[in-house]
Amino acid sequence: MYLDFRYRGVVNTVVITYYDGEQFYLPMLELFNILELQSNVDGLEISGKFGFEQTSYTIDFTRQLANFDGFDYPLTSSDYYLTDLDFHFTPAFFRSVFGLEFSVDINNLSLDLTTDVELPVVERSLRKNKRRISNKSNEVTYFQLRKGRERTILDGGFFDYAFSSNIQPEVQSLSYSGSFGVQVLGGDLQGNIFGNSNTDASVLETDNLRWKTLIRDTPWISSISLGQSPLDGVYGAQYTGLRITNDPVEPRRFFDEFEIKGTTIPLSEVELYLNNGLIDYQLANEIGDYRFLAPLNYGSSQLDLKIYGPTGQLITRTTRVQVPFNFVPKGKLDYRFNAGVLDNPLIGSTIRNRTIQGNISYGLTKWLSARFGVEYYSEEIGKNEPFYTASISSRISKNYIFTIEGVSDAYVRSNLNVIYPNTASFNIDVTEYYGGESIFNSSNNSRQILSSIFYPAKFFKLPLNLRISNFIRVRQNVLTNTQRFDVSTRIKKMSIRLGYSDRLIDTFDPFTSSDTGVIDASATFTVSKNPNIPPLLRGTFLRAQSRYRLSDDKIESGEFLFSKNVFKVGRLQASIGRNFQQNYTSARVNFIIDLKKIRSNSTFSTIRDSYNITQNVRGSIGYDSNFNHFILTSRNQVGKSGAAIQLFIDNDSNGLYNSGDDLLPDAKLRLGRGGAQSFYKNGVLYYTQLLSYYRYNMGINTSTISNPMLVPEYEEFSIITDPNSFKLIQIPFNTSGVMEGIVERQYEDNVTKGIGGLKVLLRKIGENETKELRTFSDGSFYEYPIAPGKYILEIDPAQLELLDSKSEPEAIEFEIKITPSGDFIEGLNFTLLPLKETEESVEDSASILAIERITEQIKASPQILEYSQELFNKIDASLRLIVKAQNAFYSKDMNSAFKFVSESLELFETAQAYALKGSFYYFEGNIEQAQREWEQALRFNPNLYIPNMEVLEQGIDTSEFD
């Protein structure tokens, strides 16, 4: 009998057992192998070390005796059953000798295990899960590219819109804005529209009109833009013109590898964590040395070492490494070039200056990057020659970043910042200006100093965050010092902040307060969603804040805010404040509602005797030219991409969807990046909010396909998105195949007999993954569903060695072809031939002869053979009826579908048949009966995917079955 064996989420396999009508016999070698327990076979003796305690055991069939940890356990012929492939014992034997409590549920054909023994397979799995290594490679691993960049003359189109009306006493106005994006001439064209209308005038303007195309995987040019863009130099004004660069299309995330090495207690286990995620582990050598190469991403990375000593010690070490975003990997060169006309005149000028600007960035070493540039502006005030710019950034001692930059005839700036492992940080920025007023020094400063310190501390057990910042500016011999001190803490769900700020003239004294000195305080609290709390307060956000002016020695103002989610799609905010210095009250009520296709924001505010009512509506419309669908969403789409995915049954096997094919509206996909939204519309699966020009990994969740005989042409693939348009992706599904065969063993006098429990290995040619099949008691085997393709079939070499046999043929190649009803391959037969004649021993004891005699009698028992064959026939017939029921369903013949699935359940109860019957009831509108059938399916297989009713109601149209 084939039993489903699952244990603690670690083991999930099928175990072949024997049943004589009264007693089950479980395979010891197979179970010990699954549980990773040691077992060695020497003739008629099994021995090994059991569990983590390495307790010695032996089972000697010659002496009819088992020994475990020095204790003897006598054996009788009813305790075991011998086969060619394994030694089978009763559950009572496993319980009494090893403490393994096996039980068989014959109704569900399952095998359960209960034990207090720590099993190696569980410990290894827990360790493996804990040590699930992240991808440390600097390259993202992509699936096979199925849909690359598609350049068209005109395609798609997104439009983001916003309307806002404002009502005040005696004044009403309407403002509107929009952004559009469309794929044009292989690139994307984008622009903005602004408008305002009131009782006096109307205004309409356009802005940021530009055409851009990105080119992937080319080292010398990646982006070409024409139109309005921001300059890439030190002076970042808007201009209209040409922009060319080779900056990566997808921003770099990985920078370099960082070596971590040290010495600890010899033979300790060392784990390396990157930003709290385990990325590697190793065993320190005999003298305690360890060495890691950790990936460094841009930004700040925290690296933690956890060292587990041989006797249970735990040592932790933490370091933090910074990689500025302006760093370039060693040997890489990036450039940017701009040429055009400024959109607005320079300060002090009335003309729109022409400009040419360019710079290059180069990675000199792993810790040093440089940037050089030239910027020219025609008729610049007081100077009609280019400015030269340069900067050098360096990483010193892992986490200190020092940068120095300058502009000719303008300024020199230096910056030092550091983040420590405990998240404490320090930053200081000093700028010396010279050359007088210019576009790089519009305020005519002489010197500027910015500094900040952050330090996390504890006051007893109370966590405190301390921050000090200071901004000093020297202009025309006048020193201005703006300083701020903040301290914050969190007590359970309440956050408290207290701050002091002031602006001083010609002094550095932090203890001297001016007329602008204020102390502000705030407290925020999130109410729990506990059902015992009144609904009005449940899950609400509360904030109170106030400001105290030191010069007046009184509270200047105070405010209280209440915020709560309402109606599942909305949020209500209300605030009231009081200005005690000017003696007036203000109030504000804001209601936001997000209906997925449109977003509304209504605001009412009042101050003194005046009021203001604002209503804002915003959303986005996208056009899918593939199916002439308009896609509405509340989130902006301009500048992004989408995908229109059509999954269908390819009935005519041409790989394209046409009128004779059937859509699959229940299929789900997995997306390699987050942030996207998905939904079905008219049988098409849409993804929005994809990043333009990016490469995405996608995978089909085959468990959501209601017909298990359907297989996709490919399960995993990647695409490159197209800007401001929906990319068409068609994935054909084909009816899979079924294959069957038999394995027979040749005995003396050329007698052949089927051999049960043998492992048959199935592998698709060109792939490495191998699937393991098991033969039934008569030697037969079969498998479904099998995707179309070429396969190779062979007998497990380890079992052939155990049987001292060879396979004839050694392997069988076959092909599953694409056909409307599925391909059926039979006659995949193997014969096992002996490698050498087995010598019979005349010195076998009477007990061994008795064992062999009993074994052969049981194996040859007509009742057992009849039972096994009957069980096989029932399972086979039951599965074939399920396939017929599914085909009838897709042909919309519901009467036949119900008939076939009911006949299947009468032969043999399976979770698949109950789930299918529930689906039939659902499509007929009998929801309650459908749920009962699905509950029955889950009783047989708790891991079976059953979508919830909300998903079904949103994603499935049952009207054609009414």
Separation CA 741–CA 811 (nearest Å): 13
Token pair of 583, please?
Answer: 């003696």
pLDDT at 867: 64
Does the pLDDT of residue 846 top 50, yes or no?
no
pLDDT at 637: 92
pLDDT at 188: 93
Token pair of 350, please?
Answer: 């009335």
**CA separation, residue 600 to residues 165, 590, 928 (Å):** 12, 10, 38
Mean pLDDT of 247-268: 85
Does the pLDDT of residue 428 top 90, yes or no?
yes
- Top-confidence residue, 381 or 575: 575
419 contacts 322 by C-beta, under 8 angstroms: yes
pLDDT at 809: 92
**Exposure b/e, 490-507, CB count within 10 A at least 16 = b:** eeeeeeebebbbbebeee
Separation CA 323–CA 315 (nearest Å): 27
SS3 883: helix
pLDDT at 325: 84
Does the pLDDT of residue 840 top 60, yes or no?
no
- For the ranges 390-394, 476-480, 650-654, the maximum mean pLDDT occurs at 390-394
Q: Which helix (H) or strand (E) holds 936?
A: helix 927-940
Q: What percent of the chain has pLDDT over 70?
A: 90
Mean pLDDT of 313-326: 84
SS3 864: helix
- Residue by residue, what is the 3-state secondary structure of 470-492? EEEEEECCEEEEEEEEEEEEEEC
Residue 20 phi, psi dihedral angles, 5° rounding: -100, 15
**CA separation, residue 783 to residues 2, 17, 424, 740 (Å):** 15, 20, 60, 7
**CA separation, residue 698 to residues 169, 212, 591, 715, 720 (Å):** 55, 27, 38, 8, 11
Token pair of 284, please?
Answer: 């320190």
Does the pLDDT of residue 319 top 60, yes or no?
yes
- Top-confidence residue, 850 or 403: 403
pLDDT at 466: 95
> How does pLDDT run across 118-145, given as a tens digit for each residue?
888 887 676 566 555 444 445 578 888 9
Closest among 175, 141, 148, 146 to 161, alpha carbons compared: 175
Separation CA 556–CA 106 (nearest Å): 78
Contacts of 61 (CB under 8 A, 6+ apart): 44, 45, 75, 80, 82, 848, 851
Does the pLDDT of residue 849 top 60, yes or no?
no
Does the pLDDT of residue 962 top 50, yes or no?
no
Mean pLDDT of 934-945: 71
Mean pLDDT of 661-674: 82
Token pair of 659, please?
Answer: 């009128």
Does the pLDDT of residue 307 top 90, yes or no?
no
- For the ranges 131-140, 165-174, 762-771, the maximum mean pLDDT occurs at 762-771
> How does pLDDT run across 592-641, given as a tens digit for each residue?
998 889 999 999 999 988 889 999 999 999 999 999 999 999 999 999 99
Token pair of 611, please?
Answer: 């009021």
- Top-confidence residue, 227 or 310: 227
Residue showing tokens 């002090």: 348
Judge if pTM exceeds 0.85.
no
Paired with 719 in beta bridges are 147, 696
Q: Is the omega angle on the peptide bond into residue 785 within 30 degrees of 0, that is, cis?
A: yes
Separation CA 197–CA 218 (nearest Å): 48
Contacts of 797 (CB under 8 A, 6+ apart): none
Rounded CA Rg of the chain? 37
Separation CA 196–CA 202 (nearest Å): 6
Q: Can you spell out the DSSP letters for 141-171?
A: --PPEEE-----SEEEEEEEEEEEEEEETTE
Closest among 811, 808, 862, 803 to 836, alpha carbons compared: 803
**Confidence label for 776 from pLDDT (cuts 50, 70 and 90):** confident
DSSP annotation of 21: S
Q: What is the mean pLDDT of the chain?
A: 84
> How does pLDDT run across 89-123, given as a tens digit for each residue?
999 999 999 999 999 988 778 899 998 888 888 87
- Top-confidence residue, 127 or 712: 712
pLDDT at 218: 86
DSSP annotation of 330: B
Does the pLDDT of residue 471 top 80, yes or no?
yes
> How does pLDDT run across 291-305, given as a tens digit for each residue?
888 888 888 888 888
Separation CA 475–CA 254 (nearest Å): 42
Does the pLDDT of residue 696 top 60, yes or no?
yes
83 contacts 803 by C-beta, under 8 angstroms: no
Question: Which amino acid appears at position 645 of this protein?
Answer: I
Closest among 298, 300, 302, 301 to 327, alpha carbons compared: 298
**Confidence label for 955 from pLDDT (cuts 50, 70 and 90):** very low
pLDDT at 862: 61
